[in-house]
């Protein structure tokens, strides 16, 4: 199954944290990172009094079920040093399951597509870079359309790679 994961970091060496997370996920035989979007510097969302984030989206191929994928990304966040803090607060790494093909999951601990996907410019812009014609299975519209309509686009700035 193919899907998309969103990554964000606003503490420590943000670029290294993103790269380390991608590399750690890609190191397993049952999950492959196929490609990643560009890196975007973004304004915080929700809790705004914190440092800016770097965000990317990765396209993945995996044979593991969604609940196990969630366990794996949450364990990776902890292994990388993520600590409990305020919801939407500062973090070394945050990994969200955005889309898994046309799958719709609505369980207490897992919602796919991500419940706030359509509201978050910092995810939609890099996702649209990789998958503009993918259709949000619950809303029935393309990622491109969502990215063009979302509030906050002015706070999503492509990072010039050096």
What amino acid positions are annotated as catalytic residues?
Answer: 82, 91, 94, 96
Tens of pLDDT, residues 122-140: 999 999 999 999 999 999 9
Q: Is the dihedral of CA 112, 128, 21, 86 positive or negative?
A: negative
Checking if the pLDDT of 18 tops 70, the result is: yes
Q: Which residues of 15-39 are buried (b: 16+ CB within 10 A; e: fewer)?
A: eebbbbbbebbeeeeebebeebbeb
Checking if the pLDDT of 161 tops 70, the result is: no
The domain tally of the chain equals 1
Q: In this predicted structure, what is the pLDDT of residue 48?
A: 73
**pTM (2 decimals)?**
0.94
CA distances to 28, 44, 116 from 130, in Å:
22, 22, 19
**Percent of the chain whose pLDDT exceeds 70:** 96
Q: Which domain holds residue 116?
A: 2-158
Which parts of the chain are beta strand (E)?
Answer: 2-9, 31-36, 40-42, 53-62, 94-100, 105-107, 110-112, 156-158
Rounded distance between C-alpha atoms, residue 128 and residue 149, angstroms: 12
Tens of pLDDT, residues 69-115: 999 999 999 999 887 766 666 889 999 999 999 999 999 999 999 99
Q: In this predicted structure, what is the pLDDT of residue 128?
A: 98
- Mean model confidence pLDDT for the chain: 92
Pick the closest to residue 121 from 147, 95, 96, 142 (CA basis): 147
Q: In this predicted structure, what is the pLDDT of residue 88?
A: 65
pLDDT-derived band at 56 (thresholds 50, 70, 90) equals: very high
pLDDT-derived band at 46 (thresholds 50, 70, 90) equals: confident
Checking if the pLDDT of 57 tops 60, the result is: yes
Rounded distance between C-alpha atoms, residue 85 and residue 155, angstroms: 23
Beta bridge partners of 111: 106
Give me the CATH number covering residue 153. Answer: 3.30.70.560
Rounded distance between C-alpha atoms, residue 36 and residue 116, angstroms: 21
């Amino acid at each position: 199954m193919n899907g998309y994961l969103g990554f964000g970091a606003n503490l420590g060496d943000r670029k290294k944290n993103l790269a380390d997370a991608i590399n750690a996920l890609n190191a397993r035989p049952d999950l492959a990172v196929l490609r990643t979007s560009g890196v975007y510097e973004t304004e915080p969302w929700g809790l705004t009094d914190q440092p800016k984030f770097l965000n990317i989206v990765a396209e993945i191929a995996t044979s593991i079920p969604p609940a196990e994928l969630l366990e794996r990304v949450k364990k990776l966040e902890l292994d990388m040093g993520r600590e409990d803090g305020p919801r939407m607060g500062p973090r070394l790494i945050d990994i969200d399951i955005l889309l898994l093909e046309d799958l719709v999951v609505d369980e207490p601990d897992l919602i796919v597509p991500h419940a706030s996907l359509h509201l978050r410019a910092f995810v939609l812009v890099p996702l649209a870079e990789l998958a503009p014609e993918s259709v949000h299975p619950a809303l029935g519209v393309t990622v491109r359309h969502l990215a063009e309509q979302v509030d906050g686009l002015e706070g999503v700035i492509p990072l010039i790679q050096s």
